[in-house]
A and B are shown apart, each in its own frame.
Chain A
Amino acid sequence: MAEVTKLIHKYLRHDKKFPHVWCPGCGIGIMLGALIRAIDKCGFTKDEIVLVSGIGCTGRLPVYVDFNTLHTTHGRALAFATGVKLANPKLKVIVVMGDGDAVAIGGNHFIHAARRNIDLTAIILNNSIYGMTGGQYSPTTPYGMKTTTSSFFHIEQAFNISELAVTAGAPFVGRGTVYHARLLDSLMEKAFLKKGFAVVEVISHCHTQFGKLNKMGTAVEMMEWQRDHAVTVEKAAQMKEEELKDKFRIGILIDKELPVYLDEYEKIRTGSSGSGDRRP
Chain B
Amino acid sequence: MDTKKDKKTTKIDIYKAWCKACGICAAFCPAGVLARDEAGYPYVKHPEKCINCGWCELRCPDFAITVHKKDKGFKDTDEEGEKEKLQGTPPPG
Residues of A within 8 A of B (CB): 1-2, 4-6, 8-9, 12, 18-20, 22-30, 32-33, 178-179, 181-182, 218-220, 223-224
Assuming the A-B contacts A24-B21, A24-B22, A181-B58, are A1 and B52 also in contact, with contact meaning beta carbons closer than 8 angstroms in the complex?
A: yes
Q: Which of chain B's residues have a CB closer than 8 A to the CB of A224?
A: 27
When distances are taken between beta carbons in the complex, the residues of chain B under 8 Å from A2 are 57, 66-69
- The 3 tightest CB contacts between A and B, nearest first, are A29-B61, A25-B22, A1-B54
A20 near B69 (CB under 8 angstroms)?
A: no
Q: Across the interface, do A5 and B61 meet the contact criterion of CB distance under 8 Å?
A: no
**What band does the interface of chain B fall in when counting residues whose beta carbon is under 8 Å from A?**
20 to 34
Cβ-neighbour of B64 out of A19, A26, A219, A223 (below 8 A): A19
Our pick among B18, B21, B57, B79 for the contact of A4 (Cβ within 8 Å) is B57
A-B contact pairs, 20 of them (CB 8 A): A1-B52, A1-B53, A1-B57, A2-B66, A5-B66, A6-B66, A9-B63, A12-B63, A25-B20, A25-B22, A29-B61, A33-B60, A218-B22, A219-B22, A219-B24, A220-B28, A223-B24, A223-B27, A223-B28, A224-B27
Which residues does chain B contribute within 8 Å of A28, judged by CB atoms? 61
Q: Which of B51-93 contact A (CB under 8 A)?
A: 52-55, 57-69, 79
- In the bound assembly, the distance between CA atoms of A205 and B61 in angstroms comes to 12
Q: Which residues of A contact B24 (CB under 8 A)?
A: 25, 219-220, 223
Tell me the chain B residues, 16-36 only, with Cβ under 8 Å from chain A.
17-24, 27-28
B54 cross-chain contacts in A, Cβ below 8 A = 1, 4
Contact present for A8 and B69 (CB under 8 Å) = no
Residue in A23, A27, A220 with the greatest tally of chain B CB atoms within 10 Å: A220
Chain B hits for A6, CB < 8 A: 66, 79
The interface of chain B, by Cβ under 8 A from chain A, is 17-24, 27-28, 52-55, 57-69, 79
Contact (Cβ within 8 A) B20 A19: yes
Collect the chain B residues with CB atoms within 8 Å of residue A5's CB: 57, 63, 65-66
- A1:B67 contact, CB within 8 angstroms: yes
- Tell whether, in the assembled complex, residue B28 and residue A33 are in contact, meaning their CB atoms are under 8 Å apart: no
How many angstroms from the CA of A20 to the CA of B20 in the assembled complex? 10
Q: Which residues of A contact B23 (CB under 8 A)?
A: 25, 218-220
Residue of A nearest to B76 (CB): A2
For the complex, give the distance between the alpha carbons of A9 and B65 in Å. 12
Give the chain B neighbours of A29 by CB distance below 8 A.
60-63
B66 near A18 (CB under 8 angstroms)?
Answer: no
Residues in A with CB closer than 8 Å to B52 are: 1
A179 to B28, CA, bound (A): 9
User: Shortest distance in angstroms between B83's beta carbon and chain A's nearest beta carbon?
Assistant: 11
Flag if B22 contacts A220 (CB, 8 Å): yes
Q: A30 contacts B57, CB within 8 Å?
A: no
B-chain residues with CB within 8 Å of residue A19 when the two chains form the complex: 17-20, 62, 64
| Chain A residue at smallest Cβ distance from B68 | A2
Choose from B21, B53, B59, B63 the contact partner of A8 (Cβ within 8 Å).
Answer: B63
**Alpha-carbon distance between A208 and B4 when the two chains are bound, in angstroms:** 43
Q: How far is the CB of A61 from chain B (nearest CB, A)?
A: 12
* In the bound complex, CA of A182 to CA of B59 (Å): 9
Q: Which residues of A contact B27 (CB under 8 A)?
A: 220, 223-224
Complex alpha-carbon distance, A61 and B79, angstroms: 26
Chain B: minimal CB distance from A191 (Å): 18
